[in-house]
Amino acid sequence: MKPMNIKIEQRKRVAIITLDRPKALNALNTALMQEMVSVMQKLDKDPEVGCFVITGSEKAFAAGADIKEMKDKSYLDMFHEDYFAGWEAFTSIRTPKIAAVSGYALGGGCELAMMCDIIYASTTAKFGQPEIKLGVIPGIGGTQRLTKMVGKTKAMDLILTGRLMNAEEAERSGLVSRVIPSNKLIEESLQAAELIASYSKTTVMIAKEAVDRATELSLREGVLYERRVFHALFATEHQKEGMQAFVEKRTPDFSKS
Ligand code: CAA
């Protein structure tokens, strides 16, 4: 079935997913989540897709989980639907995801950006976890991921006050890797995505997995894991091709798996 809440476009080896609920500032409802996950799971397996760019509109990346969808639910509704658990499949996508954020990235919107691997922000971006104002707390990993990304005191400041943080502060805090003028956000994000997608998809997936482990393993375990997968790459054609091309002073061809 054609997705109703997102747009999908492919440019070279990059799949661009645009959240498309403009009237609700791209609030994340269940239908949007299901569409995104289902489309991305298929593209994740496609060797012709080497990177995702996830974006929204000029005004809003996403203004949060859909408050109107949630507001009348009971505890038992939330518990039995395991509300938000569907987003775990999004985090399991192995192809890298770049969040290109303009405007509001609030609540679930900020959490969606943090579930991506890289966040690029336009100068207009505003990040926040304002759930406290609604009598709730972040529910798609915000208390955990934000704390790991910006540290305890900044996470507490944002989550307990509900205040918004601009792009410059977000970059200073380590949430965002680049701040880009808004008219260049998509172009620059695509350039980075195309570069990532030009490398060996296998190697990129393994590199991503190793970095992801860093937030969960001890340094010793993480370094051991890295060394083991580094060794494993020597079983791939792409290691042979990458290193042979260097020696022959030519561009490697990673198109053959
Ligand atoms: N859910 C549902 N609808 C939303 C929404 C949301 N999170 N955010 C905005 N909308 C809707 C508004 O209700 C409004 O719809 P109507 O025209 O039908 O009234 C429309 O989008 C436009 O919004 P505003 O008129 O409010 O636009 P604004 O420019 O005046 O304000 C804003 C923009 C500051 C982002 C404001 O919309 C806002 O505060 N939104 C809610 C932000 C929020 O609290 N997010 C957290 C949600 S809870 C959550 O995400 C839990 C979690 O951890 C997963």
Instruction: Measure the CA–CA gap between 210 and 53, rounded to whole angstroms.
Output: 21
Whether the predicted pLDDT of 257 surpasses 70:
no
> Tokens for 235?
């079983």
With the CA atoms of 35, 40, 41 and 44 taken in that order, what torsion angle do they form, in degrees rounded to the nearest 10?
A: 170
Please tell me the distance from the alpha carbon of residue 222 to that of residue 215, in angstroms, as a whole number: 9
CA–centroid distance, 104 to ligand 1, in Å, is 9
Ligand 1 midpoint to CA 161 (Å): 17
Q: Does residue 65 have an active-site annotation?
A: yes
Contact 27, 64 (CB under 8 A): yes
Atom of ligand 1 nearest to the CA of 104: 35
What is the sign of the dihedral through the CA atoms of 32, 38, 44 and 50? negative
Give percent of the chain above pLDDT 90.
98
The residues lining ligand 1, judged by C-beta closer than 6 Å to any ligand atom, are: 24-25, 27, 63-68, 104, 106-108, 111, 130-131, 134, 138-140, 142
* Catalytic residue status for 131: yes
Has residue 255 got a pLDDT over 90? no
Cα–Cα dist 35/30, whole Å: 9
> Measured in angstroms, how far is the CA atom of residue 19 from the centroid of ligand 1?
15
Tokens of 122: 């336009």
Reported ipTM: 0.98
Q: What CA–CA distances, in Å, run from 20 to 57, 105, 166, 213, 229?
A: 8, 14, 23, 32, 38
Question: Which atom of ligand 1 is nearest the CA belonging to 139?
Answer: 53
Q: Which atom of ligand 1 is nearest to the CA of 67?
A: 1
The DSSP code for 86 is: T
Residue nearest to atom 13 of ligand 1 (CA): 24
pLDDT score recorded for residue 97: 98
pLDDT band, very low/low/confident/very high, at 256 (cuts 50, 70, 90): confident
Q: How confident is the model at residue 248 (pLDDT cuts 50, 70, 90)?
A: very high
- Residue 17: alpha-carbon gap to chain centroid: 11
Contact between 56 and 19 under an 8 Å Cβ cutoff? The reply is yes
Q: Is 35 noted as a catalytic residue in this protein?
A: no
Read off the pLDDT of residues 131-178 as tens digits, 9 standing for 90 and up.
Answer: 999 999 999 999 999 999 999 999 999 999 999 999 999 999 999 999
Residue 1 has pLDDT above 80, yes or no: no
How high is the pLDDT of residue 28? 98
Nearest to 70 by CA among 16, 111, 11, 28: 28
Mean pLDDT value of segment 214-226? 96
Q: Could you give the CA distance from residue 224 to residue 222 in angstroms, rounded to a whole number?
A: 5
What residues contact residue 184 under an 8 Å CB cut-off, 6+ apart? Answer: none
Could you give phi then psi for residue 254, rounded to 5 degrees?
Answer: -95, 10
The DSSP string of 94-108 is -S-EEEEE-SEEETH
Q: Measuring CA to CA, which residue among 6, 97, 102 is closest to residue 53?
A: 97
Mark whether 58 is an active-site residue: no
